[in-house]
Structure 1
Amino acid sequence: MKLIIGLDGHGSGERALQFGQNLASAGTDCELLVVYVIEWSPFSFQTAEENAQRHKRREEEIALAMERVVAPAVDTLKKAGVNARGMVRHGNVADTLNAVASDEKADQIIVGRTSEGGIASRLFGSVTANLVMHADVPVTVVA
């Protein structure tokens, strides 16, 4: 079984990570893939120089997220005896988690419920809601 754990760098991601660890420790042959998505829109009009700077900034963000968020989570899982690896991607969070799950032939996506509120989330929906509605695999939302 392969589970995708969507981290957000906050407490809700930590709860999702703990839930995934508990599932993996239950005695099944399980791999956890810890994924952190940096919200990134490819749709903007920029000069060639701005695009070059943006690419450099993107690579720096990936390295920083891997170092500060993903690697510590994967290390914690491995110390607990869980088969785990991690990755960082740029893109729309819900779409990217779903794409990773598809590419990796994952069985499930696990994410934490965020406390995001306000008018924007009511009008446009949250990342979690979009993921639940559109994912190709089951999604578990951890409170």
Structure 2
Amino acid sequence: MTTSTIVVGLDGGEAGARALAFASKQAQLIEDCTLKLVYVIEWSPFSFQTSEENEQRHKRREEELSQARERIMDPAVKTATDSGLTVEGIVKHGDVADILDDLAKKYSAQQIVVGRVGLRGLKERMFGGVTARLAVASSVPVTIIP
């Protein structure tokens, strides 16, 4: 039997917590299932800066990744592993929808689970935000949790 994989998009808020709770229940029902918990710090690579500014940007980027692991990912991974689930936490910089879909492809995930409303609000999510882009363009089914 092949292990199933569910990619779960976390946002550091209630929507991500609901997505994790839903995915955890699904993983328990499936039994042989791994959760890939993903938190993405949106980061634009399109910036023209001096080498000194790029060095500082890289330092800030590493600090942001470390803080996201500590504040968001580690507690989420602990919650899921305490429930007896197999979990991997992934923190990246980049485009949220692209990274979630790329990871779903990389790990041959059966689905992506995300919360409907993230920290930026309903308007962005409904009109061109991450959730809408995933629903339209994802390579695997997307479950959107209210």
TM over 0.5: yes
CA deviations 1:51-97 (Å, max 9, x no partner) are: 11111111111111011101110111111101111010111111111
Q: Which runs of 4+ in 1 moved over 6 A?
A: none
Whether the 8 Å contact between 2:116 and 2:125 is mirrored in structure 1 is no
Residue of structure 2 in register with 1:68 after alignment = 71
How far did residue 131 of structure 1 move?
1.0
Q: Residues of 1 paired with 2:106 and 2:49: CA distance?
A: 30
Unaligned runs of at least 5 residues, structure 1: none
CA displacement at 1:117 relative to structure 2:
3.5
Q: How many aligned positions are there?
A: 141
2:107 to 104, 117, 121: 104
Q: 2:13 aligns with which of 7, 10, 14?
A: 10
Q: Which moved more, 1:99-108 or 1:6-15?
A: 99-108
- 1:128 equivalent in structure 2: 131
Identify the residue that residue 117 of structure 1 maps to in structure 2. 122
TM-score in terms of structure 2 length: 0.91
One of 19, 42, 46 as aligned partner of 2:45: 42
3-state SS in 1 of match to 2:7: strand
Contact 2:125 2:131 in 1 (8 A): no
Runs of 5+ consecutive residues of structure 2 not aligned to the other structure: none
1:24 counterpart letter in structure 2: A
For the residue of structure 2 that corresponds to 1:25, the secondary structure is helix
Of stretches 94-103 and 14-23 in structure 1, the one that deviates more from structure 2 is 94-103
Change (3 A) 1:55 1:114: same
Q: Could you tell me how far apart the structure 2 residues matched to 1:112 and 1:10 are?
A: 9
- Tell me the percent identity: 50
Q: Is the 8 A contact 2:27 2:34 kept in 1?
A: yes
Superposed displacement of residue 121, structure 1: 5.7
Aligned equivalents of 1:135, 1:6: Cα separation in 2 = 13
Q: Distance in 1 between matches of 2:67 and 2:107?
A: 23
TM-score, length-scaled by structure 1: 0.93
Distance 2:17 2:29 in 1: 18
- Partner-residue secondary structure (3-state), 2:41: strand
1:15-30 matches, cutoff 5 A:
15-30=18-33
Aligned-partner Cα distance in 1 for 2:51–2:38: 30
Does the aligned pair in 1 maintain the 2:36–2:89 contact within 8 Å? Answer: yes
In the alignment, is residue 94 of structure 1 matched against residue 111 of structure 2?
no
